[in-house]
Structure 1
Amino acid sequence: MEIPRFLLGDNTDCPEAIFVIHTEFPRFIINLVDDEIEWLEEFSKEDEEELTHQTENLIEEASLFYDREVERYQA
């Protein structure tokens, strides 16, 4: 099975949250409401430095994915 790079997540226990799941390394779940990220990986110190540089881009990509999906639902 081929899993898309980003997935939308929903949970009725968190009705205000907008979850986007990133399925490739570094895997994470982001709540776009407050940009809180839950990493699904363990990182070494060297990885953490690289992630600092990637995080901003990953948040932007997750936001663009969400906007695109919402637009498709509304069409």
Structure 2
Amino acid sequence: MELPKFLLADNSNYPEDIFVLHTDFPRFLINLKDDEIEWYDDLSGESEEDLATEVADLMDKAGEFYDTEMKQFE
């Protein structure tokens, strides 16, 4: 099965939070409300500079994905 790169996630225990799940490496769940990230892959050994650049890019893409999805509901 081919998974989408990003998925929206929801939890009724956190009604104010907006979660986006990234399914490719590095896999993570981001809460767009506060940009808190939960990592699912071991990132040790990765270059900190490269990782910082990639994380910033993926956070932007997660936000863009959310915005695109929400426009479809309008």
TM-score band, normalised by the shorter chain? over 0.9
Q: How many Å apart are 1:53 and its aligned residue?
A: 1.6
**Correspondences of 1:37-52 after superposition (within 5 Å):** 37-45=37-45, 47-49=46-48, 50-52=50-52
Q: Number of matched residues?
A: 73
- Aligned structure 1 segments of 4 or more residues deviating by more than 4 angstroms: none
Gaps of 5+ in 2: none
User: Over the residues paired in the alignment, what is the CA RMSD in angstroms?
Assistant: 1.0
TM-score after normalising by structure 2: 0.92
Report the 3-state secondary structure (helix = DSSP H, G, I; strand = E; otherwise coil) of the residue aligned with 1:21.
strand
Higher helix share: 1
Identity among equivalent pairs (%)? 51
Gaps of 5+ in 1: none
TM-score after normalising by structure 1: 0.91
